[in-house]
Amino acid sequence: MSRHYPGLAPIDAYGRGGFGFAGMSHRGALLVLPSGIHAWSPDPAALTVADFTLVLAEAAAIDLVIIGMGHAMARPPQAVRAALAAAGLQHDAMATGHAVATYNLLLGEKRRVAAALLPVHHAP
């Protein structure tokens, strides 16, 4: 996870396997945290607690984690949900398109929000 944008920015675009933000584009998944936007490389079919290490490390600065699960809403595995709850984090999982819109709205309201976004491979 060496690629990192050191700031907060709305997600301007998604689809075709990636995201656009801050005048840049990124192929693959993203973690959008108070420390910035990080490249993320989980196995979308098998998310683990380890995939959320950076989220958990920044839990004190986050109230809500929006999880974009790809094309459709799906629940993260129980172990992930339990780890987020144990860290005092509320989470909401939804399709990535809805997650991007929700994240942008909450960011615009200056809420303490983070996002874990799996890519989708169609144009929005």
Number of domains in the chain: 1
Give the Cα separation of 117 and 28 in Å (integer). 9
pLDDT digits (tens, 9 = 90+) for 22-57: 999 999 999 999 999 999 999 988 999 999 999 999
- Whether residue 122 is contained in a domain is answered as no
One DSSP character per residue, 34-67 reads TTEEEEE---TTS--GGGGHHHHHTGGG-SEEEE
Count the neighbouring beta carbons within 10 Å of the beta carbon of residue 27: 10
124 domain residue, yes or no = no
- State whether residue 102 is helix, strand or coil: helix
Domain span at 38: 4-117
CATH number at residue 48: 3.40.1230.10
- Tell me how far apart the alpha carbons of residues 58 and 60 are, in angstroms, rounded to a whole number: 6
Q: Which amino acid is at 10?
A: P
User: For residues 59 and 6, what is the distance between their CA atoms, to the nearest angstrom?
Assistant: 17
pTM of the model: 0.94
pLDDT in tens, 9-25: 999 999 999 999 999 99
